[in-house]
Amino acid sequence: MDNNVRSIELQHIQDGDVIFITACSQCESRAKVTLEGAVKTKIELVKQSGETKLTRLEGEYSTEKVGDGPVFLKIDIANHEKMKVIKNIFIMSDINGKEQGLSFLFNVEDATDEDFNDYLIHVVTWHKRG
């Protein structure tokens, strides 16, 4: 694809953290979402059809952070040069307020209508404990 690619570093993920990713779409573009870098297994989620109904991108959904290097989320949407991404980060805590993990939420606009509902990507990390 490589027509309109964004690579975003996911910061504050610790060595040994478990990482889950899911993505869905309700637009006609095709896309590939990749989680790569310092991960045990590179993850690729793919939408190959031009279906406009709500569709989950297909692929593996979990891996683990390894080492001190960065983890990257790569978003590749075919034939769309106007992609925009909104990134939100949430801290997940236990009952005592101690950080247990992070939740990254990305709203993606693939064209020009500015509704930011074309792709939703969710990455969750849990800190390794015990």
- Domain spans, the chain: 5-126
Query: Within 10 A of 70 (CB to CB), how many other CB atoms are there?
Result: 13
Q: How far apart are CA 22 and CA 58, in angstroms?
A: 9
pLDDT tens per residue, range 77-95: 987 677 899 999 999 999 9
Q: Please state the separation of Cα 129 from the chain's center in Å.
A: 23
CB 71 within 8 A of CB 39: yes
- The arithmetic mean of pLDDT across residues 6-14, rounded, is 95
The CATH architecture one would assign to domain 5-126 is Sandwich (2.60)
Q: How far apart are CA 111 and CA 39, in angstroms?
A: 31
pLDDT tens per residue, range 16-64: 999 999 999 998 889 999 999 999 999 999 999 888 889 999 999 999 9
